[in-house]
Homo-oligomer: A and B are copies of this chain.
Amino acid sequence: MSDDLDYDSPVPLFQQLADLLRAQIDAGVITVRVPAELTLTQRYGVSRGTAHRAVMILVADGYARISRGKGTFVIPADQR
C-alpha cells in the first residue's frame, strides 16, 4: 500500500487521500479513529481543506462518522 500521494497524478489529491484512508481501514491499519484533519495535514502534506474533503468522502461511503469537537471514527465493516 503506497503511503503517499502523487502530485502529478490527474487524480485529485483529496480523492487520492480518501482512497488511501479507505484502503487503510479495509486493511485494518486504521481501526477506531480516523486521524484528525490537522494530523492528516502534517502526515500527507496537504491542506486542511483537502484533508476535510477526503474525510467527507469516507463519510459519504459509510466508512466513517464525524462527531464535531470529538473526532472522526471508523464505522465497522459489519455496520455498513
Contact = CB atoms under 8 A, between A and B. Distances in A.
Interface of A: 38, 42, 52-53, 56, 60
Grouping DSSP codes into helix (H, G, I), strand (E, B) and loop, the A interface class, with mixed when no group exceeds half, is helix
Determine how many copies of this chain the complex contains. Answer: 2
Nearest to A41: B53
Contacts of A38: 52-53, 56
A41 B56 CA distance: 11
Contacts of A53: 38
A32 to B, nearest CB: 18
5 contacts: A38-B52, A38-B53, A38-B56, A42-B56, A42-B60
Nearest to A57: B42
